[in-house]
Amino acid sequence: MIRFTNISKVYKPNMTALHGVSFHVKPGEFVSIVGSSGSGKTTLAKLLFAEEKPTSGKIVVGDWDITSIHRSEIPTLRRQIGVVFQDFKLLSRKTVYENVAFALEVAGAANVRIKEVVPQVLKIVGLGDKHERYPHQLSGGEQQRVSIARALVHRPKIIVADEPTGNLDTVTSREIIELLKKINEFGTTVVLVTHDRDIVNALKKRVLTINGGKIVSDVEHGKYVLG
């Protein structure tokens, strides 16, 4: 599903974020990418949805080599990968419904389909009764649920969640992770980028550990191993 081959990313003038990173994520897997701040894990996530381009190496998503993806192709890629961020990245002037619908509207989806799909995904994330609320009228956990609903709306094969619990309390964090697990059980590949030890240990899923821009461990049912 996702294949990184010898990926390096160097920021100008001379800051190496990733160095020779290679791994493969199979369809339907739940992979946690862990590491301390500045280890390169967010850069890795950004490479996945083409917010950054690698300096060298090769990235393949599905059958698509996105290593040198053209600017005009990026929107198409982003409609195939659901992305969830730590700061939710919701449009503050749009309601919950409009935020989720927007992802379909930009893709040119028909109104009939939008009216059918958006309530479905909002129900899945537990916000079936909050369509007309604005982001500032929601709790952090609810905002993250909207973000997940938006990521799900295209029925993507992959969900990339970059520190999705970073701004949430422990209980809400667990709920969000449970939601991601549920999505994974439906067959969606989930890449979770986090530095939350408890979450990683509780998941008992594959753990890729990054340190200093390199993968230092890749364990099938792993734990958080950094100090």
Partner 1 sequence: MRTLIRVIKFTGQSLWRNAWLSLITLTIFVLTLMTVNAVLLVNVVTSSAIRAVQNEVQVAVYFVPGTSQETEKSVRGYLLGLSQVKTVEVITADQALQNFKDKNAGDPTVLAALDEVGGNPFGDAVVVSANNPQDFDFILQAIKTPEYAPSIKQTDYTDYQTVISKLTTFTDKLRIAGLILAGFFALISILIIFNAIRIAIYVHRDEIGIMKLVGAQDWFIRAPFLLEAVLLSLLATGVMAGVVLVSTKALDVPLMQYFGQVNVSLWAYFTSNALIIFGGEFLALALLSSLTTVFAMRKHLRV
Site string for partner 1, 56-85 (x = CB under 8 A): ----------------x-xxxxxx---x-x
Q: What are the structure tokens assigned to 190, written together? A: 């989930």
Q: What are the structure tokens assigned to 80, written together? A: 């195939």
Burial class (CB in 10 A: 0-12, 13-18, 19+), 82: buried
Q: Using CB under 8 A, which of 16, 28, 51, 58 touches partner 1?
A: 51
CB of 79 to partner 1, least distance (A): 4
Residue count, binding to partner 1 (CB under 8 A): 27
List helix spans (H) across 74-169: 74-78, 96-105, 111-124, 140-152
CB of 224 to partner 1, least distance (A): 28
Site string for partner 1, 113-152 (x = CB under 8 A): -------------------------------------x--
* Beta bridge partners of residue 10, listed in sequence order: 16
DSSP 8-state symbol, 72: G
Site membership for partner 1, residue 103 (CB under 8 A): yes
- Which helix (H) or strand (E) element contains residue 24? strand 15-25
Interface residues toward partner 1, by CB under 8 A: 49, 51, 72, 74-79, 83, 85, 89-94, 102-103, 105-108, 110-111, 150, 154
